[in-house]
Structure 1
């Protein structure tokens, strides 16, 4: 009776190179990716809180009295629940350089959902345009 034996392959030494030890994954790229993800999420939340409130809708009517040291911005703001809003305003030159900024808090009167305002924005030089950057709940 013949016996069958299982044997492992025997390779001649040096012919096929040497076996490598399994490599450990570097920790730094994983830590770097996690830090980038945390920063991206934090920045997204901050930007949404500042600019992404769809229930606070501002619309520019126009601007007047554009002098060397101020421009008056006329605008409306729709606020939910007849509340109040804090809006960021800015004045711009012809090449869109910001030459003045201001934050104002507006309160709705008599249960109105829309606030119409006219606000002067102090400038460092003559502005040719003004805009409402964004509005958010007052507070």
Structure 2
């Protein structure tokens, strides 16, 4: 089998306007754009980590016990030594509706990384779960996301 030679198309003169010569993109320009994109990606990553990343104040529910119109929530809070945290404790019913909410202040314990707190929350309906929405530095005016 023989191959057919491929030739460049020939256009009639003056019909399609002047053809541009292709200029190769400068390697320097590509390098500069790559560095700018890398810097922007890094900056965005740092900003997102600052907003949503690991904090000095965190909480985890260890257990909760339910009654007809109340829930007792036991949780561990990580607090910097000598500081206090404001934590939001809430309860929800079977439909997922919030039926109780309190903000409590927890002081750092002997081991600030594992301060245990217990809170009894009175609810407006029968709860099915008790949870800690989050913790922020006490008195800082910071709000939970």
Deviations 1:14-55 (A, max 9, x none): xxxxxxxxxxxxxxxxxxxxxxxxxxxxxxxxxx6xx87721
- Confirm or deny: 8 A CA contact 1:68 1:124 kept in the other structure: no
Deviations 1:52-76 (A, max 9, x none): 7721110011101x12221000100
Where does structure 2 lack aligned partners over 5 or more consecutive residues? 1-50, 140-145
2:58 maps to what in 1? 57
Give the alignment's TM-score, normalised by structure 2. 0.56
Q: How many residues are treated as equivalent by the alignment?
A: 89
Deviations 1:76-104 (A, max 9, x none): 00012342100011101122110000110
Cα 1:120–1:99 change in 2 (3 A) is same
Provide the C-alpha distance between the structure 2 equivalents of 1:101 and 1:112, rounded to a whole number of angstroms.
Answer: 24
Whether 1:103 aligns to 2:74 is no
Cα 1:61–1:110 change in 2 (3 A) is closer
1:138 maps to what in 2? 138
Provide the C-alpha distance between the structure 1 equivalents of 2:130 and 2:90, rounded to a whole number of angstroms.
Answer: 6
Structure 1 stretches of 4+ moved >6 Å? none
Provide the C-alpha distance between the structure 2 equivalents of 1:110 and 1:61, rounded to a whole number of angstroms.
Answer: 18
Provide the C-alpha distance between the structure 2 equivalents of 1:53 and 1:136, rounded to a whole number of angstroms.
Answer: 12
- SS where residue 94 of structure 1 aligns? coil
The 5 Å alignment of 1:1-139 reads 54-64=55-65, 66-110=66-110, 112-139=112-139
- SS where residue 113 of structure 1 aligns? helix
- Confirm or deny: 8 A CA contact 2:87 2:105 kept in the other structure: yes
C-alpha displacement at 1:114, in angstroms?
Answer: 2.2
Give the alignment's TM-score, normalised by structure 1. 0.58
Provide the C-alpha distance between the structure 2 equivalents of 1:74 and 1:103, rounded to a whole number of angstroms.
Answer: 14
Where does structure 1 lack aligned partners over 5 or more consecutive residues? 1-47
